[in-house]
């Protein structure tokens, strides 16, 4: 139904066809206000169809700025004919999903269960140096990716092996925060997968 308006015998303004309902307005017999509403009804019918549909669906034209980031954590490998040169690495990729620019700090990692050191000291959070120099802080625009690689040192495999001995579902995860305090986490990589990939790499 088209939006139509008319003035009834008592001076009220009747607007019909607004979401299949009728709106009655008492303008206190003001000719100027009555004419304004009539003109408004005419102008509404002239609006482009897509704008009317957008309003009908209650879409917000000036939507709020979306924020977020996607962090993908994976295993990478340097493959050479010489097995002695083959290396297993961690790969981390950050994609900013925020409409405004963001500065991302360095990646840090968490393991579960915790590392156990001498004297029973436990720790689950640590950092590694990426192979890319001057990687952080990194300014990212909306949709811009930032990829990094971290070599797994030979001594680290013993620590991962000890964690796996505590829990067969042990995992490691990457985290990153921004300079404005947002914190994002990656998917989890099972420690068991690290040794599966290492075994494959050395075949």
Same domain, 108 and 8: no
Question: What span, in angstroms and rounded, lies between the C-alpha atoms of 98 and 139?
Answer: 12
Question: What span, in angstroms and rounded, lies between the C-alpha atoms of 16 and 1?
Answer: 9
Q: Which two tokens stand for residue 27?
A: 């303008």
Q: Binning pLDDT at 50, 70 and 90, where does residue 82 land?
A: confident
Same domain, 16 and 73: no
Query: Which residue matches tokens 């009539």?
Result: 38
Kindly state whether residue 101 falls inside one of the protein's structural domains.
yes
Phi first, then psi, for residue 54 (nearest 5°) are -65, -45
Same domain, 26 and 78: no
What pLDDT was estimated at residue 38?
66
Same domain, 148 and 189: yes
Same domain, 28 and 89: no
Same domain, 51 and 116: no
Q: Which residues pair with 4 in a beta bridge?
A: 16
Distances from the Cα of 105 to the Cα of 38, 94, 175, 180, angstroms = 58, 11, 10, 10
Q: Which residue has the higher pLDDT, 74 or 54?
A: 74
Q: Binning pLDDT at 50, 70 and 90, where does residue 62 land?
A: very low
Q: Binning pLDDT at 50, 70 and 90, where does residue 63 land?
A: low
Q: Binning pLDDT at 50, 70 and 90, where does residue 15 land?
A: low
Same domain, 112 and 86: yes
Which domain covers residue 141, as residue numbers?
Answer: 69-201
Kindly state whether residue 62 falls inside one of the protein's structural domains.
no
Kindly state whether residue 64 falls inside one of the protein's structural domains.
no
The yes-or-no verdict on residue 47 having pLDDT over 80 is no
Distances from the Cα of 192 to the Cα of 55, 84, 88, 123, 163, angstroms = 53, 22, 14, 20, 10
The yes-or-no verdict on residue 178 having pLDDT over 60 is yes
What pLDDT was estimated at residue 4?
59
The yes-or-no verdict on residue 27 having pLDDT over 60 is no
Q: What is the rounded average pLDDT for all residues in the chain? A: 80
Question: What span, in angstroms and rounded, lies between the C-alpha atoms of 70 and 143?
Answer: 10
Q: How many residues does the chain have?
A: 203
Question: What span, in angstroms and rounded, lies between the C-alpha atoms of 189 and 137?
Answer: 24
Count of domains observed in the chain: 2
Question: What span, in angstroms and rounded, lies between the C-alpha atoms of 28 and 31?
Answer: 9
What pLDDT was estimated at residue 137?
93
Kindly state whether residue 42 falls inside one of the protein's structural domains.
yes
């Amino acid at each position: 139904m088209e939006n139509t308006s008319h003035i009834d015998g008592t001076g009220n303004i009747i607007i019909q066809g607004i979401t299949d309902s009728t709106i009655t307005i008492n303008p206190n017999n003001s000719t100027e206000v009555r004419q304004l509403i009539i003109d408004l009804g005419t102008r509404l019918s002239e609006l482009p169809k897509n704008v009317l549909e957008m309003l009908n669906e209650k879409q917000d034209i000036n939507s709020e700025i979306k924020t977020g980031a996607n962090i993908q954590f994976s295993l990478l490998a340097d493959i050479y004919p010489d097995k002695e040169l083959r290396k297993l690495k961690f790969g981390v990729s950050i994609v900013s999903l925020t409409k405004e620019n963001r500065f991302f700090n360095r990646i840090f990692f968490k393991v579960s269960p915790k590392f156990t050191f001498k004297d029973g000291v436990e720790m689950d959070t640590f950092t590694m140096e990426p192979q890319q120099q001057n990687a952080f802080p990194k300014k990212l625009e909306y949709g811009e990716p930032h990829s990094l690689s971290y070599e797994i040192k030979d001594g680290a495999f013993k620590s991962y092996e000890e964690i796996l001995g505590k829990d067969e579902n042990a995992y490691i995860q990457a985290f990153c925060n921004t300079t404005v305090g947002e914190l994002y986490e990656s998917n989890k990589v099972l420690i068991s997968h690290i040794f599966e990939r290492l075994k494959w790499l050395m075949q």
